[in-house]
Amino acid sequence: MMTRQFPGYARGWFVVAFSNEIADGEVKPLKYFGKELVAFRGNDSVIRVFDAFCPHLGAHLGYGGKVVGNEIECPFHAWRFGEGGVCTQIPNARRIPEKARVKEWPVRELNGVVVVYNDPFGGEPVFEIPVIPEYGTDEWLPWASMRYLIKTHPREIVENLADRSHFPTVHKTDIDSFAFDVDGHMANQRTKGRAYLQGGGIDEFSLVATYHGPGYLVTRMNGALQNYLLTAHTQVDEETVDLRFAVTLRIVGDRKKTEGFVAQYVSNLKHGFEDDIKIWEHKVFRDQPLLCDGDGPIGHLRRWYRQFYSAAPGAVAHSENSHLSG
Ligand code: FES
Ligand SMILES: [Fe+2]
């Protein structure tokens, strides 16, 4: 799926797992950004992510590799890799070759997810994902989550943020007010409206949805229930996107009662996503779309999103004060 505007893979933090998918001492193969990776959690409970292929004879560390202390041991000839991906031990060798190392990826674990930083140009992280202070407290439920593998390019998913006019048609939602703004690596949508629920009923809501970089969207919603919605997408390869969404509700009154709302809530969200997915998987991307005055600021969003595909962070920084909607 070639594109002139968004070539290759974006720079930024991307979710590669929910925290509870990788226990202490566990190894998990990953495939993202067209590469094979391996994640493992050491005895210190810290998650590390390395390139998967052993520099020796090329075994995949994610299939049969094992955690020893805070290092990972290759299943083929037991070379061990630790801090910085450096080889620390080779059985029966007197000398460890200088080049014996694998790439270690920048990793953070927060808000119940594991994120890695991808920079195709090799740079260090230039921003951080903020902690959601309420997450993990007694007043909020744990994430209820879903995951989809979608045949699309992530620009389609991101473009939703500014696409005001798809809400009534795709999501059965009336929009009363809609604002979009960007600030460096962040883009915000602030919306008020009414959602017509599947099971009947109307939910008056207000929300602020913020992208922190190109692939990590947090939505704080006030409505019938208060919630955070995390929508994270990570490219597997140029054709496929791994989309995770997770919702946490604020416990109001009885915990059991709030838990009872979750299934219905997730089901509503699931329908919303699946309606988007059906569009994304079959549409074409128009580099020069034909827009009208009822559309949201799609051009503004694209200019913001392009920064994550440029060689230098911030290289496309002229969009912030733009008032153009096309
Ligand atoms: S291939 Fe990994 S130790 Fe030989
Ligand atoms: Fe949508």
Summarize pLDDT for 202-252 with one digit per residue, the tens.
Answer: 889 999 999 999 999 999 999 888 999 999 999 999 999 999 999 999 998
The pLDDT value recorded for residue 318 is 42
pLDDT range class, residue 323, cuts 50, 70, 90: very low
Q: Residue 117 is encoded by which pair of tokens?
A: 């930083």
CA of 234 to the centre of ligand 1 (A): 29
Q: Which of 118, 136, 156 is the last residue of a domain?
A: 118
Report the 3 state secondary structure along 149-204. EEECCHHHHHHHHHCCCHHHHHHCEEEEEEEEEEECCEEEEEEEEEEECCCCCEEE
| Nearest listed ligand to the Cα of residue 167 | 2
| Distance (Å, whole) CA 279 – CA 159 | 12
Contact 283, 264 (CB under 8 A): no
Identify the residue whose C-alpha is closest to ligand 1 atom 3: 77
Q: What percent of the chain has pLDDT over 90?
A: 79
CA of 52 to the centre of ligand 1 (A): 11
Residues 44 and 182 both lie in one domain: no
The pLDDT value recorded for residue 325 is 36
**Arithmetic mean of pLDDT, 12-37:** 98
Pocket test for ligand 1, best of 63, 79, 80, 87 (most atoms within 8 A of CB): 79
Q: Is residue 108 part of a domain?
A: yes
pLDDT range class, residue 3, cuts 50, 70, 90: low
| Domain harbouring 185, CATH code | 3.90.380.10
At residue 326, does pLDDT exceed 60?
no
The pLDDT value recorded for residue 320 is 38
Q: Is residue 136 part of a domain?
A: no
DSSP 237-280: SSSEEEEEEEEEEB--S-HHHHHHHHHHHHHHHHHHHHHHHHHH
At residue 307, does pLDDT exceed 60?
yes
Residues 290 and 235 both lie in one domain: yes
Q: Is residue 29 part of a domain?
A: yes
The pLDDT value recorded for residue 315 is 57
Q: Is residue 99 part of a domain?
A: yes
The pLDDT value recorded for residue 172 is 86
The pLDDT value recorded for residue 263 is 87
Residues 47 and 164 both lie in one domain: no
Q: Which residue reads 């946490």 in tokens? A: 248
* Mean confidence (pLDDT) of the chain: 92
pLDDT tens-digit readout, 165-183: 999 999 889 999 999 999 9
Q: Is residue 139 part of a domain?
A: no
Number of compact structural domains in the chain: 2
Residues 214 and 275 both lie in one domain: yes
Given the DSSP bridges, would you call strands 47-51 and 104-105 parallel, antiparallel or unpaired? antiparallel
Pocket test for ligand 1, best of 38, 77, 89, 102 (most atoms within 8 A of CB): 77
Residues 100 and 212 both lie in one domain: no
| Distance (Å, whole) CA 203 – CA 222 | 10
| Distance (Å, whole) CA 176 – CA 82 | 54
At residue 9, does pLDDT exceed 90?
yes
At residue 300, does pLDDT exceed 80?
yes
**Choice between 202 and 22, residue whose per-residue pLDDT is larger:** 22
Identify the residue whose C-alpha is closest to ligand 1 atom 4: 77
**Choice between 95 and 261, residue whose per-residue pLDDT is larger:** 95
| Domain harbouring 50, CATH code | 2.102.10.10
| Distance (Å, whole) CA 280 – CA 163 | 13
| Neighbouring residues of 284: CB distance < 8 A, sequence distance ≥ 6 | none
Contact 244, 18 (CB under 8 A): yes
Q: Is residue 217 part of a domain?
A: yes
The pLDDT value recorded for residue 314 is 61
Residues 298 and 198 both lie in one domain: yes
| Distance (Å, whole) CA 147 – CA 157 | 14
Q: Is residue 72 part of a domain?
A: yes
Q: Is residue 182 part of a domain?
A: yes
Q: Which of 118, 133, 155 is the last residue of a domain?
A: 118
Q: Which domain holds residue 42?
A: 12-118
pLDDT tens-digit readout, 262-288: 888 888 889 889 999 999 999 999 999
The pLDDT value recorded for residue 196 is 85
Contact 243, 230 (CB under 8 A): no
